[in-house]
Every structure is written in C-alpha cells, then in structure tokens.
Amino acid sequence: MKYTQSLLVALVAMFGGWLIVLVTPSASLLGVFTQAVIYAMFALGVGFLLKQNGLVSFGHALYFGGVGYAVGVVLTLDMMPAEWAIPAVLLAIGAAAFAVGLVIVRVPGIAFGMLTLAIGQMFYLLATRARGITGGSDGMGVPWPTTLYGFPEKALRQPETLFMITWVALVLVALLLHLLLKMRFGAVTEAIRDNEERARFIGIRTTVPRAAVYAISAVVSAIAGLLSNYNSAFASPESLHWSVSAITLLMVIVGGFQTLAGPIVGAIVYFLVSDILGDYATYSMAIFGAALIAVIVFSPHGITGAVTSFVKRRRKGAASLSAGATREREAT
C-alpha cells in the first residue's frame, strides 16, 4: 500500500518536470537545468553509497566519465548498435563495480575514501596517457547514431526533450532506489552500516550486500554520465578527474546524505549558487570549500537534515503543547 504512495509522488514529480519545461523562458536556461538534473543523479549515486554503506567515495567520477569512454569505444569499434550498447555498458559497469566492491568494501572506512581517490585518479591518468585508445588529453568523440530507439537525434537533442529525458530518468531512478530500500535489502544494509559486527552475529554476511550497494551507486552515476555524454557526444579525461568526484561529494554533504532527496537538493543548490556567483567563479572552489566546512561544522546532516530536525522539533513542541492542554483539562 505504501508503494502506491511512492508511485503517486513519482508521477506528480514527472508532471512537475513538464511544468518546468513550459515555464522556462530560454533554451539555454533549460540547458543549465538539464546539467543540474544530470549532476543531481550523479550525486544521488554517490549519496546512496554514503547513506547505505556509510562509505565516502572520492572516485565516482570513474563511473560518471568512464561510461562515456566505454560507449565511445563500443560505438567506434562498431561492436553493437547503440540501443544494445547502452544496457550492455551499464551492465558491464555494474558487474565490474560489484567485483571491485567485493574487494574494497572490506577496507576500513577512512582508508576506503583514500582508496577510491587513488583508483579514480589512476583511470584519469590512464585516459590522459593512452592516446591510442582514448585520444589522450584531447578526449574522444562518441559517434552516437542518428536515430536512437527509433527517435531521430534532432528531436532527442532538443533542449525540452533532453531535459524531460533526464528529469524522468532521475525520478525513475530515485523511485527505484526508494522502493529497493523499503525491501529487506534496505534493512540489511542499514544494519551493516550501523553495526557490522552485530550484523554478522545475527547471521548477515556483510561483504556481498555492501558490494551490491557500491555497484548500484556506480550504475546510477554511470546513468548520469551517459545522459551527460549523449548531450555532448564527447568523452574527455576531465570528466574522470577527482575534482569532479569531489564536487559531487560536496553536493551530497551540503544537501544531506541521510535521505535520497538530500543529494538532489545539494546539486540544485550548487547550480543555483554557481549561477549567482558568476563573476567570482575563479575562486569558486574556495567558496565551496568554505561552504563544506560551514555545513559540516554547523549542520552535519546538510540542508535536508536541518529541515528534518526543525520539523521534528516543531512536532515535539506541538505534541507537548497538546499534552499539556490535555493535562490541564483533566485537572479541572
């Protein structure tokens, strides 16, 4: 029964996306929104890992940028049509991430972060150096076909269409994750996150579920990367750089990692602020660094965390007020 509630919310959200398209005055602004939505999905992937496993990854740009290269190679070498390439690559990334996950989730929390940083950078350097395959620091073009799943690319690349595709994708992915977490898988992974030892003592084998979470977070980031890549038709090493992972992590922390909505909020805030900053963009990193510090010091659970506690406190206040009123009535 709760599922229908979630489905309804998702439908409303999708409709909301359509409203946004109608209301937005310019195509370029819609393009910025599309970027924001893509990064929101990327942040969702990173945030999912942090939420369910309690693990911070500084290397998810590997999946975000890597998917572009993978598809690029597959299409350039004409291995299969694009319609097959997309699910095939996503599946391959999921499998690879699962294998990697089985190894790295056993590394204690803090070292895990450093490990992901190193792995991510490794692939960045690889992409920059391997001119033969990846075009080196110049990047490589990705030959997307003129029709995809029956739709002509001109239609697909319209700002309105592109925005709707990314928006709907985000809503669907968020919905799927939400439903997944309501199932036993959610409880199992939360238990492992809260107390790994006790989880084993109640009979949970802890490595596989965590590797699965890692793989899912990788695939979500890859989907975001895929959408980004379709937009640009180009794969560059810059999309693999650790700073990309880091900015996304920033969005997750600022938005709040305890819910699925948090990273999405964080991405939107980031883009809004970037837009407003405009001229001060040269020192934007310093500003984001300061914002990160401020959030962690004053509100470690980010914006959504602050909102949730505020609502909780209001509720408690209202409850004690009504309880007090009831007691008064009873006394008289």
Partner 1 sequence: MSSQVLHAQGVALYYGGVRALNGVDLELHRGRICGLIGPNGAGKSTVIDAITGRRALTQGRIVLEGHDISRLGVVERRKLGLSRSFQRTSIFGGMTVRRQVELASWKTGIDDWQDDAYAVLRELDLADLGDVLAHDLGYGEQRRLDLALALTGRPKVLLLDEPMAGLSVKESHDLAGHLKALTSSWDVSVLLVEHDMDVVFGISDSVVVFELGRVIAKGTPAEVRADPRVREAYLGSAA
Partner 2 sequence: MLTISLMNGLVYGALLIIMSSGLALIYGLRRVVNFAHGALYMLGAYIGYTVAIHSSFWLALLVAPGVMFVVGILLDRYGFRLLQDREPLNVMLVTFGLLLILEDLVVFIWGKGNHSLFTPELLRFSIPLFGSDLPAYRLAVMLVGLGVALGLTLWLRYSRVGLFVRASSTDPLTTSMQGVNTDRLSAIIVGLGSALAGLAGVIAGPFLSLSPHMSSDVLIDSFVVVVIGGLGSLAGAFIAALLLGMMHAVGAVYLPEVSVLLPFMFMIAVLIWKPTGLLGSRT
Residues that bind partner 2 (CB under 8 A): 54, 56, 103-104, 106-111, 113-115, 117-119, 121-122, 125-126, 129-130, 242, 246, 249, 253, 282-283, 285-286, 288-293, 296-297, 300
Which does residue 191 bind out of partner 1, partner 2, none, counting CB within 5 to 8 angstroms by kind? partner 1
List the single partner that 280 binds among partner 2, partner 1, none, CB under 5 to 8 Å by kind. Answer: none
Regarding 200 and contact with partner 1 (CB under 8 A), the answer is: yes
Question: Which lies closer to partner 1 via its Cβ, residue 157 or residue 316?
Answer: 316
Which H or E run includes 26?
Answer: none
- Helices marked H in the chain: 2-23, 27-53, 61-76, 82-104, 109-129, 131-134, 153-156, 159-182, 184-194, 196-201, 207-232, 242-255, 261-277, 284-298, 302-331
Token pair belonging to 47: 């945030």
Choose the one of partner 1, partner 2, none that binds residue 311, judging by a C-beta under 5 to 8 angstroms depending on kind.
Answer: none
Residue 272 binds which entry of partner 1, partner 2, none, CB below 5-8 Å type-dependent? none
118 binds, among partner 2, partner 1, none (CB under 5 to 8 A by kind): partner 2
Classify 292 as helix, strand or coil. helix
**Nearer residue to partner 1 within complex by CB, 126 or 204:** 204
| Count of CA atoms in the C-beta half-sphere (13 A) of 296 | 11
> How far apart are alpha carbons 16 and 21 in whole angstroms?
9
- Would you give the DSSP letter of residue 77? T
Three-state DSSP class for 105? coil
325 binds, among partner 1, partner 2, none (CB under 5 to 8 A by kind): none
CA distance 68 to 230: 8
Q: Is 198 in the site for partner 1 (CB under 8 A)?
A: yes
Beta bridge partners of 234: 141
User: Which one of partner 2, partner 1, none is in contact with 7 (Cβ closer than 5 to 8 A by kind)?
Assistant: none
Residue 204 contacts which entry, partner 1, partner 2, none (Cβ below 5-8 A, type-dependent): partner 1
Min CB(101)–partner 1 separation in Å? 19
Binders in 44-73 for partner 1, by CB under 8 A: none
Q: Which H or E element spans position 107?
A: none
> How would you class 33 by CB atoms within 10 Å of its CB: exposed for 0-12, middle for 13-18, buried for 19 or more?
buried
Is residue 1 part of the contact set for partner 1 (CB under 8 A)?
A: no
Mark residues 166-185: x for contact with partner 1 by CB under 8 A, - for none. ------------------x-
Q: How far apart are CA 293 and CA 278, in angstroms?
A: 21
Among 205, 312, 314, 316, binds partner 1 (CB under 8 A): 205
- The whole-angstrom separation of Cα 148 and Cα 144 is 8
C-beta of 100: minimal distance to partner 2 in Å? Answer: 9
φ, ψ of residue 67 to 5 degrees: the values are -60, -35
* 3 state SS of 299: coil
- Give whichever of 134 and 229 is closer to partner 2, judged by the CB atom: 134
How many residues contact partner 1, by CB under 8 A? 17
**Side-chain half-sphere exposure of 216, counting CA atoms within 13 A:** 24
Residue range at the interface with partner 1 (CB under 8 A); choices 60-68, 202-210, 215-223, 295-303: 202-210
Least separation in angstroms between CB 121 and partner 2 = 5
Question: In angstroms, what is the minimal distance from the CB of 166 to partner 2?
Answer: 27
Helix 184-194 to helix 159-182 angle (10° resolution) is 70
Q: Which residues bind partner 1 (CB under 8 A)?
A: 184, 187-188, 190-191, 193-195, 197-205
